[in-house]
Each structure stands twice: as C-alpha cells, then as structure tokens.
Structure 1
Amino acid sequence: MFMGEYKHNIDAKGRIIIPAKFRQELGDKFVITRGMDGCLFGYPMTEWESFQNKINELPVSKKDARSFTRFFFSAAVECEFDKQGRINLPSNLREYASIIKKCVVVGVSNRFEIWSEQLWSEFSEDAEANFSEIAENMIDF
C-alpha cells in the first residue's frame, strides 16, 4: 500500500528519487503513465496488469472507451530504478504534469502519483477547503 507525501526535485536529466518505502512495494519494474488532474500515475506491475485487464473489457466500439485506453496506454512507460533509487521521467510525461524542478510524490493506496509542487499545492488547498462536502458525496459510492 502506498501512502504519504514526499517532496523531491527533478534533476537536469529528468530523474527523480522514488521514496524507499515505495521502492519496496514496486519491486524491480513498474509502470508510470499520465494520470488524472494533471499528475502522473505509477503502478506496480501486478496492479498495472489488473488495470489492463479491466481496460481490455471496455467495448472498443465506444468512442470514450477508445479515448480512455489511448490516453493511458500511449504514454505508459515501464520503469526501473538506478543504483540511487531514481527513475528517468520521459519529457512527454514531465510536460503533461507540468513538472519542471520541484515535485511531490504521493501514495494513493494501490498506486502512487507524481505532481508538480504547484499543482499539488493547489489541489491540496481545494480538497482541504471542500473536504466535508467531498466526504458527504462519497456516501453515494
């Protein structure tokens, strides 16, 4: 399980350190792709395969299903750690998430997310201000 919030910097080569607690959960290989709300999603291989199986069940005849599948899979990259526990984030993913220098790595149950520090701050402030309403709406699930 992924949880917690960790602030990091991207180096000049586009590398980021993934927290040690997350590296233990991820194993040797994992997947990073575009996420929602302007962040990146990172999945252990077992979670990615489970997600992939669900996506494969979507009807290819539906335009939204095709778009959703393309969005996630076209940007997905398989990652491995270097000896310092870093990964290289491709430029297209950094651009998508507006990550230039400072970023935040956040644990979200079965995945982790990588946010630009600015977008994470904006999201956190909004979520905090509306948390009671968000919690109330979650009852419907």
Structure 2
Amino acid sequence: MFLSTYEKQLDGKRRLLIPQEFRTADNGAEHGVFCFFSIENDCLEAGGDKLMAEYVSMIEELPFGDDVRTALEETFYAGQRPLAYDGGGRITLPEHLCQDAGLGEDVVIVGLGSRFQIWDRARWNARRDERRALARQAVRERGEAGRKALLAGRRPGGEGA
C-alpha cells in the first residue's frame, strides 16, 4: 500500500524521488509507476500494477461504445505515462503533466492505499484542512447511524430484539 505523506522537490529536469516504501513488488511499483492527470482532482495520480488493474476492471465493466467508458479510456489510457525509476529511485515527470497539475518546485506525495497523488505543495496545504473536516464529518455521521441502528434493535427495558 502507498501510505503517508512526503514533501519533496522537483529538480530542474522535473525529476521526483519516489519514497523507497512506495517502490515495492507488493503494490506493483517495483520498477516504475503509471502516472496520469487525476480524474478527481487537479493533481497527478500514480501507482503500480494494482492501480492499473482497478482502472482496467472499472472500464471493462462498462459496455464497449458507452460514452462513459470512452471518456474513461480517453482520460486514463490516453493520458497514461509509464515512468521507470532511474538508479536513484526518481521518476521524470513529463512537462505537460506538470503543467496540467500546476506543479511547482515544491510538491507533496500523498499515499492513498492502492495509489498516490502528487500535488503542488501550496495547493495541497490549502486543501488539507477542508478534507480533514469532511473526513471528520463522515466518521461522525457513520457513528451516529451505527448508534441509531443499535438503539433501534433494542426493546424497552434493555432487552435485544
């Protein structure tokens, strides 16, 4: 899994050191990563063979010729760049991907389980508090729903249903 958050810098050639913990056979990123402009956010998304398999499965569930399938194929397959590590564990990000994601010199690598994202540091810092608030709200709502379900299953007097 891709876990944790790392602050890094792109050098003048747009090379980015990928954390050693991310470069494993377990996540399919032992020799390199697949990288593309994120479908969800203004950042880059990357991962190994497991991420590729997730997208392929999602795309193949849709019928051939379906407009959503074609949009996913155009975005994921056509936007895809397989990037191999150099001897130092770095990938070189294509200029067009850096421009699309608005990446400056300072970036953040954000582990998300089966994938990771590469954000411009300022953009990530602006987003982080908002996302924590959303996660906090989701956990709170889930807890309240579980408590209500538990209470609904009990009869007066404390006996279970």
TM-score (norm 2): 0.77
Which consecutive unaligned segments of at least 5 residues does structure 2 have? 146-161
Q: Which has the higher contact order (CA 8 A, sep 6+)?
A: 1
Note if contact 1:55-1:69 (Cα within 8 Å) is conserved in structure 2.
Answer: yes
Deviation at 1:66, TM superposition (A): 1.5
What residue is the counterpart of 1:3 in the other structure? 3
TM-score (norm 1): 0.87
The answer on 1:15 being equivalent to 2:15 is yes
More strand by share: 1
**Number of positions where the alignment pairs a residue of Structure 1 with one of Structure 2:** 140
Unmatched tracts of structure 1, length 5 or more: none
RMSD: 2.0
Percent identity at matched positions? 24
Rounded to whole Å, the distance in 1 between the matches of 2:6 and 2:61 is: 35
In structure 2, what is the Cα distance between the partners aligned to 1:84 and 1:73?
Answer: 27
The residue correspondences of 1:1-141 to structure 2 (distance < 5 A) are 1-24=1-24, 25=27, 26-35=29-38, 36-136=40-140
Change (3 A) 1:56 1:137: farther
Moved more, 95-104 or 65-74: 65-74
Q: Which has the larger radius of gyration?
A: 2
Q: Distance in 1 between matches of 2:52 and 2:74?
A: 15
Q: Which runs of 4+ in 1 moved over 4 A?
A: 136-140
